[in-house]
Amino acid sequence: MTGFVSFVSSGPGDPELLTLKAVARLKAADAVLFDDLSAGPILHHARDGADLVAVGKRAGRASPRQDHVSRLLVDYALTGARVVRLKSGDAGLFGRLEEELTALNAAGIGYEIIPGVPSACAAAAAAGLPLTRRLNARRVQFVTGADVTGGLPDELNLAALADPLAMTVVYMGRRTFPALVLRLVAAGLSPDTPALLAEAVGHPEQHLLRSTITQLADRLAADPGSHPAVILYGPLAEGLP
């Protein structure tokens, strides 16, 4: 009998930000395959006896290959298990969800996707900010700061990313942000554009750094740090105290 996979979005790491549906799926799961940022207190919702399997990926650390993670999902489901694939933030944002869905579709395994709080939204909330502002921040754009090699992607839409009336959120960009800022300034974005570095959002070690894009680029060039982080820049950061 074929099992079923629930892709559960765990939010930024704070267990109080889990949805009721996410908690219900964790309590019912026979196996939980979890990302690094979904570990800790969130796993306390898993039932006793469930298999807990770490499959997270972190830059600069040994990590399981994506095809191995997808194979594990299929293998567990083929035993008839109820499987939770626990992803950080929202599963549909830079979480390699599509590759895992493709593997399940090929194997004829059913699944559901349970949305969660994106890290960008949690970071803005922690800083006391909205993500949009009437008249001068009508657009929000999410972009990854790293390609498959870990470097700055080549195909960036610089005209969009340098738009002074857009709020931009950069995922996985702390190591490439200095190079990105050079290109943004060359494309016309003011070097004094406000920025926010949000580290370990939703975790006890959460830290928010208010800066400008150039000051933040200099800081990250000197010490990129190791905590997971998102970077926000644009007109909304003007409201930071």
Q: Which pLDDT belongs to residue 64?
A: 76
Catalytic residue annotation: 35, 57
Q: Which pLDDT belongs to residue 57?
A: 67
Whether residue 58 is predicted with pLDDT greater than 70 in this model: the reply is no
Give per-residue pLDDT as tens, 119-159: 999 999 999 988 888 777 789 999 999 988 889 998 899 99
Q: How far apart are CA 1 and CA 78, in angstroms?
A: 7
DSSP 202: T
Strand order in the sheet with 31-34: 51-54, 31-34, 82-87, 4-9, 110-114
Domains and CATH numbers, the chain: 4-114 (3.40.1010.10), 119-239 (3.30.950.10)
Mean pLDDT to the nearest integer, 7-36: 95
* SS3 at position 6: strand
Comparing CA positions, the residue from 175, 171, 183 lying closest to residue 223 is 175
CB 106, CB 78: distance < 8 Å: no
* SS3 at position 213: helix
Give per-residue pLDDT as tens, 15-25: 999 999 999 99
C-alpha Rg value of the chain to the nearest Å: 19
CB 86, CB 66: distance < 8 Å: no
Q: Which pLDDT belongs to residue 60?
A: 53
Q: How far apart are CA 198 and CA 126, in angstroms?
A: 9
Give per-residue pLDDT as tens, 171-214: 999 999 999 999 999 999 999 999 999 999 988 899 999 999 99
- Name the pLDDT band for 237 (thresholds 50, 70, 90): low
Q: Which pLDDT belongs to residue 107?
A: 95
Q: Which pLDDT belongs to residue 220?
A: 96
* SS3 at position 166: strand
Give per-residue pLDDT as tens, 61-95: 556 788 899 999 999 999 999 999 999 999 999 98
Q: Which pLDDT belongs to residue 166?
A: 93
